[in-house]
Amino acid sequence: MSDLPAAQAPRLLSLIPPMTQLNVPYPSTAYLTGFLRSRGIAASQADLALALLLELFSPDGLRQIEQRVQAVPMKKRSASLHCFIENFERYLATVTPAVAFLQGRDPSIGHRICGRQFLPEGPRFAALDNYVDDDNGDPLAWAFGSLGVQDRARHLATLYLDDLADVLRDAVDSRFEFVRYAESLARSQPTFEPLARALAAAPTLVDSTLEKLTLDAVDRSNPTIVLLSVPFPGSVYAAFRMAQAIKAKYPAIVTVLGGGWVNTELRQLKEARVFDYFDYVTLDDGERPLLALLDHLAGQRPRLNLVRTYARVDGQVRYFNSSEPDVPFAEVGTPTWDGLPLDRYLSLLDMLNPMHRLWSDGRWNKLTVAHGCYWKKCSFCDVSLDYIGRYDGAPAALLVDRIETIIAETGQTGFHFVDEAAPPKALKALADELHKRNRAISWWGNIRFEKSFTPELCNQLADSGCIAVSGGLEVASDRLLKLMQKGVSVDQVARVTRAFSEAGILVHAYLMYGFPTQTVQDTVDALEYVRQLFAEGCIQSGFFHRFACTVHSPVGLNPGDYGIKLKPLPPISFASNDVEFFDPTGVDHDRLGKALNKALYNYMHGIGLDEDVRAWFDQRVPKPRVGRNFIARALQAGH
Ligand code: SF4
């Protein structure tokens, strides 16, 4: 294990490993860097997810990819590879302008992109055939109207990059996807074995490019400590590859692993080989563990007094946790994006779902209104973990100070509040403070559809810059909402969402299927409610998630209370999160899920809103028990 000489002042470098989102930096390094600097500690950051993509999707990158494609026998080439080889010169000529266009640096090329003669069109463009043609046979008119050159061009350029990502996957590295890399090696993987084997294998072009970028970033900032923050399982393998490269060239650099995936999945870590790559692994919010670690590395704190930190001692994994309070939310400082190339992020437009569009398109400053969730009761949610279960707010004046600092730094006035559920009281106070300072911003974020969002408050939030909200309706069924401890009912959701919509705020509903004891009848009824919510103008966007049972949720902790039995987990020495279960109802939720998604996709485009919901299913399902005017009546009752 590396320890710093006592006298050396630490220099920290926080890295975002691939793959994460590409339209804005994932916020973890911005938070950490802002916090460390607020304490006078030298800190810098780099986003290697973006850097990797820009390197691979450049003329030089494409030439290297082409060599790999040429090595694939003709018979084994996918349609993507054939198209790439046939149009290789055009890909070389168009990749730089297409990327610059998506970065917003070269808008005029949008006209050529829209003409559909400029970018080569591979298999991904077949998706356009699924769109409904307008009277002139134009499929994009349906999605973007007759104007909107920039939007159309962004969608086409995104399909073009999707094609290139498929080429990379088919010829270079089958584990590569736009938003995740080698995810299966880390998602709920009970042992380190698959990841260890992948890390011992010869590097692919993706790996070797990433290694080079990692060492370049290290050489630029000459850190004594490198922090790798892994938000999702799809960025874990890359983080280990990066640490491997750092340890091989600079064994004295202390490497630390943390982030959302670690906080969720590594709570039972026993695998000593993890520490061939990382000296320390920290759990939950990084601020306090890092301060303790810096003290320890400076020789001012015994190892025993580290905070929520794993280390390898005599070949064994040990967990150290002197329980010290976390740094209060009011004292974590303001995130900083200093050092991240904000003008190089890509505004992709691949989903026509309006809320997904906000996620992947545009540059939103990410900020939280509070730490954790003020409700922390939903039975499917990881409420036993710190990032949900520890609620801690900050005064509105401080939040608006942070907002103003961020605007001054980035020049951007759009904010995405990334809270799990921003509290209505705090949002109201925020709106009051923004009004008091006459500060114009736009913002969107997650909330709970609870009663305190009255029409007056929704209007006030719209005035303060709110353009969209998302919230969980989950399974639209009062029986299941109660079992979930969601704390809302269907008619209440109808009234609240309508109030937001009438205030001009886009509403997206998180929907769920496959919850324990959910019957086919429940599913049909839930879809009927959803149909009515769209038809009545309460919601404009939604997404159906399949319920997954996690070991940290109330369902996973007390399965008997929800009428299910967990399948036994194998012995765990590495990651753990999802757990399979037996549900005595025996419903084929996968099959039902296809119908739900099809219906929702159409509802979002205003199609099929008058049809009997049974028409979406490819099997006989019972008639909905819900009155056809249930939501309309609930809305009237609220007036
Ligand atoms: S699902 Fe959302 S509202 Fe419910 S406990 Fe989790 S974070 Fe809070």
Q: What is the pLDDT of residues 125-148, one digit of tens each?
A: 988 876 666 666 666 666 665 447
Q: Give the residue-averaged pLDDT of 26-38.
A: 95
For the entire predicted model, the pTM comes to 0.93
The structure tokens listed for 455 are 């029409």
> Please, which pLDDT band fits residue 549 given cuts at 50, 70 and 90?
very high
Rounded CA separation 21/50 (Å): 8
Helix (H) or strand (E) segment spanning residue 494: helix 490-502
Q: Give the residue-averaged pLDDT of 490-496.
A: 96
Is any atom of ligand 1 closer than 6 Å to the C-beta of 448?
A: yes
Q: Which one, of 422, 363, 337, 343, lies nearest residue 28 by Cα?
A: 337
Helix (H) or strand (E) segment spanning residue 42: strand 42-47
Q: Give the residue-averaged pLDDT of 54-61.
A: 98
Q: How far is the CA of 262 from the centre of ligand 1 (A)?
A: 20
Q: How far is the CA of 166 from the centre of ligand 1 (A)?
A: 35
Of ligand 1's listed atoms, the one at least distance from the Cα of 377 is 5
Q: Which one, of 576, 49, 570, 574, lies nearest residue 281 by Cα?
A: 574
Confidence (pLDDT) at 7? 53
Helix (H) or strand (E) segment spanning residue 35: helix 28-38
Q: How far is the CA of 445 from the centre of ligand 1 (A)?
A: 13
Would you state the torsion angle of the CA atoms of residues 590, 592, 594, 596, taken in this order, to the nearest 10 degrees? -130
Q: How far is the CA of 486 from the centre of ligand 1 (A)?
A: 8
Is any atom of ligand 1 closer than 6 Å to the C-beta of 589?
A: no
Which residue's CA lies nearest to atom 4 of ligand 1?
Answer: 378
Identify whether the C-beta of residue 341 lies closer than 8 Å to the C-beta of residue 302. Answer: no
Name 365's bridge partners: 415
For residue 553, is pLDDT > 70? yes
Q: How far is the CA of 585 from the centre of ligand 1 (A)?
A: 26
Rounded CA separation 525/527 (Å): 5
Show the CA angle centred on residue 110, arms to residues 108 and 115, nearest 5°: 125
Name 313's bridge partners: 316
Indicate the pairing of strand 414-417 with strand 365-367: parallel
Q: How far is the CA of 420 from the centre of ligand 1 (A)?
A: 6
Cβ neighbors of 458 (< 8 A, separation 6 or more) are 499, 500, 502, 503, 505
> Please, which pLDDT band fits residue 266 given cuts at 50, 70 and 90?
very high
Confidence (pLDDT) at 348? 87
Name 47's bridge partners: 16
3 state DSSP class of 614: helix
Lowest mean pLDDT among 16-30, 48-62, 75-89: 16-30
Of ligand 1's listed atoms, the one at least distance from the Cα of 374 is 8
Is any atom of ligand 1 closer than 6 Å to the C-beta of 377?
A: yes
CA atoms within 13 A on the CB side of 485: 13
Span 309-359, pLDDT tens digits: 999 999 999 999 998 999 999 999 999 999 999 999 998 887 667 787 787
Bond from prior residue into 19 cis (ω within 30 degrees of 0): yes
For residue 45, is pLDDT > 80? yes
Is any atom of ligand 1 closer than 6 Å to the C-beta of 303?
A: no
Confidence (pLDDT) at 639? 66
Is any atom of ligand 1 closer than 6 Å to the C-beta of 385?
A: no
> Please, which pLDDT band fits residue 524 given cuts at 50, 70 and 90?
very high
Identify whether the C-beta of residue 10 lies closer than 8 Å to the C-beta of residue 41. Answer: yes
DSSP state for residue 238 in the 8-state scheme: H
3 state DSSP class of 179: coil
Of ligand 1's listed atoms, the one at least distance from the Cα of 382 is 6
Q: Residue 25 CB: number of other CB atoms within 10 A?
A: 26
Confidence (pLDDT) at 142? 61
- Mutating to test ligand 1, I would choose from 448, 473, 553 the residue with most ligand atoms within 8 A of its C-beta, which is 448
Q: How far is the CA of 578 from the centre of ligand 1 (A)?
A: 17
- List C-alpha distances in Å: 304 to 151, 191, 310, 311: 56, 27, 11, 10
Identify whether the C-beta of residue 302 lies closer than 8 Å to the C-beta of residue 25. Answer: no
Q: How far is the CA of 564 from the centre of ligand 1 (A)?
A: 21
DSSP 395-422: -HHHHHHHHHHHHHHH---EEEE--SS-
Rounded CA separation 101/288 (Å): 41
Confidence (pLDDT) at 152? 86
Confidence (pLDDT) at 143? 61
Q: How far is the CA of 189 from the centre of ligand 1 (A)?
A: 25
Helices (H), 172-286: 193-200, 205-221, 236-249, 260-265
In the sheet with 506-513, reading across from the earlier edge strand, the strands are 365-367, 414-417, 442-446, 466-474, 506-513, 541-546
Would you state the torsion angle of the CA atoms of residues 368, 372, 377, 383, taken in this order, to the nearest 10 degrees? 130
Q: How far is the CA of 376 from the centre of ligand 1 (A)?
A: 5
Rounded CA separation 356/51 (Å): 23
Rounded CA separation 530/611 (Å): 13
Of ligand 1's listed atoms, the one at least distance from the Cα of 380 is 1
Of ligand 1's listed atoms, the one at least distance from the Cα of 420 is 7
Is any atom of ligand 1 closer than 6 Å to the C-beta of 373?
A: yes
Indicate the pairing of strand 506-513 with strand 541-546: parallel
> Please, which pLDDT band fits residue 6 given cuts at 50, 70 and 90?
very low
Of ligand 1's listed atoms, the one at least distance from the Cα of 373 is 8
Rounded CA separation 310/495 (Å): 48
Rounded CA separation 325/526 (Å): 43
Q: How far is the CA of 447 from the centre of ligand 1 (A)?
A: 9
For residue 466, is pLDDT > 60? yes
The structure tokens listed for 241 are 């590859």
Is any atom of ligand 1 closer than 6 Å to the C-beta of 388?
A: yes
Identify whether the C-beta of residue 473 lies closer than 8 Å to the C-beta of residue 519. Answer: no
Q: Which one, of 4, 9, 7, 11, lies nearest residue 42 by Cα?
A: 11
Q: How far is the CA of 496 from the centre of ligand 1 (A)?
A: 17
Name 280's bridge partners: 256
Residues of the chain above pLDDT 90, percent? 87
Confidence (pLDDT) at 151? 84
Confidence (pLDDT) at 133? 64
Which residue's CA lies nearest to atom 5 of ligand 1?
Answer: 376
Rounded CA separation 383/282 (Å): 19
Cβ neighbors of 30 (< 8 A, separation 6 or more) are 45, 335, 336, 337, 340, 366
